[in-house]
Structure 1
């Protein structure tokens, strides 16, 4: 199986990228799908890009299979979201390898504590737990992780 191509997200794709973000996030069971959530993610996507996100997509022969948002100045992997229909195919690992090319020495990320599938995966991928803090905007308790090149 050929892995999707990772490339920059395009402005004309922002609505689709926000939809992939919502589908991936709601697949965790922590938040239900809703039109208001999708609207919030569409607005946040544009706001975060204006604030410095580097936005990438995994393009599977013309279909967006995943989104990746990096904030390079702060070494932050902000979002790695794989569409439910593309999960379990090593796409997350492919996106993480791409992230390590962009941030070769150190990467920070935050993960919702209740999303144990995600944080356990990051731990298996070499990220080390640093601390927990609540997200003031969402109320979720966030686990902070760091990966550092050896």
Structure 2
């Protein structure tokens, strides 16, 4: 089976992207699914695109397998979420390779400290831990990471 194709997201997919985002987030065990969470993510997607997200999907024959949100001017990987049924199939690594093509020199990101599956994966992928800081809006402790191209 060929890997999903990474392409820019379309506005008519924003609801599906929010659903994938929620399902992936819920798969961490840090929060349960809810209509409120889904509504919050559905509202956030177009707002973040308006504020500068470059939003991509991993498209598996018309099905959204994952979402990737980059803020290119800031070298920031804002969101990378893979639908649970695609986790463990290198879709995340495919998205990270795509990110490195668009941000070839440096990438920074943050993830929730309790999401050890995510931050351990980023560390294996060459990201270096820089600091922890509480996110004032959510109250969650965030781990900040940076990747730089080797000289």
Q: TM range, normalised to the smaller chain?
A: over 0.9
Deviation per CA, 1:46-73: give whole Å up to 9, x if none.
1110100000000001110000000001
Name the counterpart of 2:8: 8
Name the counterpart of 1:94: 94
Name the counterpart of 1:51: 51
Task: Give the alignment of 1:104-123 within 5 angstroms.
Answer: 104-123=104-123
Task: Give the alignment of 1:1-150 within 5 angstroms.
Answer: 1-150=1-150
* Matched residue SS, 2:70: strand
Deviation per CA, 1:114-144: give whole Å up to 9, x if none.
0000000000000000000001111110000
* Matched residue SS, 1:78: strand
> Structure 2 CA distance, aligned partners of 1:133 and 1:2?
39
Structure 1 residue 2, shift from structure 2 partner: 1.3
> Structure 2 CA distance, aligned partners of 1:76 and 1:92?
16
TM-score by length of 1: 0.99
Count, aligned residues: 150
Structure 1 residue 99, shift from structure 2 partner: 0.2
> Structure 2 CA distance, aligned partners of 1:87 and 1:31?
18
> Structure 1 CA distance, aligned partners of 2:121 and 2:90?
12
> Structure 2 CA distance, aligned partners of 1:25 and 1:76?
19
> Structure 2 CA distance, aligned partners of 1:74 and 1:65?
26
> Structure 1 CA distance, aligned partners of 2:118 and 2:25?
11
Unaligned runs of 5+ in 2: none
> Structure 1 CA distance, aligned partners of 2:136 and 2:3?
37
TM-score by length of 2: 0.98
- Pairwise CA RMSD: 0.5
Q: Which aligned runs of 4 or more in structure 1 are off by greater than 2 angstroms?
A: none
